[in-house]
Chains A and B, each alone.
Chain A
């Protein structure tokens, strides 16, 4: 339930980058033959390796002295040289090779290609565009900028994780997250998993679920200001070379490198301050007092029922509190970025640093981050270029735990006549509402944010090394080596008086660390050759991935020794706070550790390794027809050794129709018209060890030293094979009116077979509860359109609109036969109350299942002839489809001289929403829909009297007054809370 993410209003202060430069530069402008600016052309001082690029207006600034020769080059214009005259500006007119104004794009394996060669969809975003959104988790800045990409932040707290999906869900239970690649190196984007499968995996010793705890997704450790560009590879065609890890797409990040030449230093600094206030909450009805049901006042001395508001109206004059608004604070964040660039001859350096401090809207929640990075470009001799980099980041995140429901839910439920700000006594002990026993009384949300807490600190290093050797014009050998490592130290502490614990527990504390060590390298050799109008390119390569996660966790009870008379004692003293990083606080006998720690004193491990070989052949003819074929051979560790060698092909074609038939370009309407098609397979893997049966600790009484063991939930599957995904895609790119209008359209069709279902609940007769098995197939189709318009283009004023449209549809083709025709397959992490993201054969992959009204064939709701209340079907029937009809991102950019204003609308049309908040509020008598409960109503429907299925069913005429029949509210089926958009 993402309640407050949609309810944030962000006030953005943005100060543009301040550029301080050591010496006066040479400025200039690059124009095409029609006098239009050439964007992104490279400008170099002859003899230097790094230079600058022209901006959106064709302008550039470079340090050069009179007499230097500038080399200006652009893919579609070739190269041109001009001499710098003393003090003068430079204007260069370039002649297009073919009238298109393409840039080079970085594709898989750090290979740069001209877009015209590509037989598949590719979208590139400037790093600055995302950085300027100033989001604490920069991933959120990608939303709306790419057709078919959707970002989902989990909560609105500081340090919250965000998920990214490219082109919809393709796998039932594996990850749908894309792979992140920085400068050719795979980097980790894991979100910590609380579930340790009974201590046998990487997770918490308390073996929790992932619904109650959120941790940052680790790509947020990056500094977005270090990023030059993002290339989004959406289809498996583009990612076939990255292998099974990238079967949900890849986000290829190119970092900034020093551009300056000579002994010059450039320093940049910018900052950003942001405030955050929650303003939109659910409509709550606070008129009624606490009561379990039927207008009966609440009298019990136990907490049970105290949080339902089915009592009489509050007596006049009762002081009521706005607890919701009183709880949330104003969030504040500040970011400071420092950049430094300098170069000496064949050496270029770039150093950067960032400081981010974000305090959330929930009390006691913050996210702090420091990061620094140094990158270098070194040219050795004529043929070798080295591009090393090293980055460090430190992230400190503290947040309250969520318990079994969120703060917002607790706040809505909290009796309105109680002030939540009164939450503790003079000794810091919990004040109770109804029950003398604090452990039986619900936790006050304010008290909870102070006392049920979790936090983690992550220190991360990412080191990369690029080696490029280019001995001949036709041969390039490249190596990319990367080491990505971090350590997270975390804790979760629950107060001895919390509702979530029994009194005897005396508080719990879990301390853990996660150490990730990821090494990977890619070595490629590519050769190219041109003859008689043909161009050919051959690439062969190998990739090695070795990722290891170590996890240590210990959880124990008894952070207090006793609670006497409401006072909490530890070591004989009254205490009201603890050092949560001190695992010695817990009672030694109560401590539980992960399994490898219990048996060997070592952390649990999760190791993923993969070796791959791949090759790609590209053939072009006269720069108008391009064919590419690739094949990748892989061997990966999660799959049983007998099945872990597999391979898959990919092929693509690109036709530049406007060049094949130049007549199309006559009349100056169409500049460029490309058709493309591609076809590719890829594989997808399970998580390590999920198909293996192991023994987990059993705590039954025993005398066996070292404890007793019984089998884990998950069944063995020695026959598991990789999932297969095959996609074909056709598309076109058209540019009109000198690039004032560009259109990119794509249709894709993905068939996923042998889907690996993890946690599949086959019969216990398997001896197991859960199974990892190749279980199902589904098809995913979609249309993506990217339209770029430049309605106004003047010297000093420019208006650009970019539309990203996406429409997806999908179908579950097969599920295991053991699932009934209308029964759903579901993943247990998608459960909310009874409602879940269940999949049903023949329906989309976005269906929601839950309880429904009973209806006759005519669709009328059946009413219990005795009570006048509707009848229900429990369990899980189809009630909604989350898939939107379409999404449309609209990015407007206005430029006036050097000022730029941009804003983005992200529109989602259609797609049902399950309003779980309203369901809970209805069941406790707090929803706005319970406001008029004293009005007599007749539920619209027909009586279930035997005539209901005939042509003349009996219309319901039974009058009910919900105030005296609160089951009317408490039993409403899930179906009632679906909001059709």
Chain B
């Protein structure tokens, strides 16, 4: 009985947050998560991948004197005006100096931060697990306004024309006035909305835990169409001309007509494992990464594999970053992979 108890307890260890922050490019450097709760600026001009700075800094603490322990970073860093903005699972939102990695300012929210930030007109917007969307002064971190939804906000807010769109796990997508935080409209789905919305031609695309990718009218919030998959939509969709590409946790990637949601490929592309990472266009190849770390290059026209799958044997849940014909992919554990449009893959070796 004791042996069983030990076994059961070993199986029942607490699920540890690992993080799935994607990389960001700023000038000649890549800002990326290089381990659990660790961020670094990496010189990519230098082929050795030398680390310029690391976060958390050894010599800095929170304003109350406590140690900085980000726990995990899910928030893909956002770079604007030589500042790196990101939130961490410890509930703190950080603004770092891009050149040195020093903390310019930091602000605590009421829960872990999972989504990334959006910035416009000197205001940075970020959602938190406490259900609030925060609008902070990009220079000082001072609170401009906050909007309380009914559940966690894990999606990255989207800004367009003075409106901030936020998807919440309370099953609602909100359109808020970016200046005041006043609600303009909301749409209620049948499941939580963890997916970052995308805007195209007056249509807001958002995926949810009700297995649906929905297209909403951006002016009224009314649903235009909904496409149902075999599992949840958690990816940020990619729109190319009149086609939206979205991966699902059912392991498939769908290509749908933006106008009415009808499938464009004969069959969705089946990767065999959940897809959370957003699809990425590399030149003329659609790059798809699934949770197991299998990367495939598809023809966006018909969904047929051009190359792959390449097996990285790493958990990949983060959104890849594209730079011309090169993709940077962060795997859980801190490995950074470089993939070109022909499927040639290399591990970015970091040096101090």
Co-assembled chains A and B: no
Interface positions of B (Cβ within 8 A of A): none
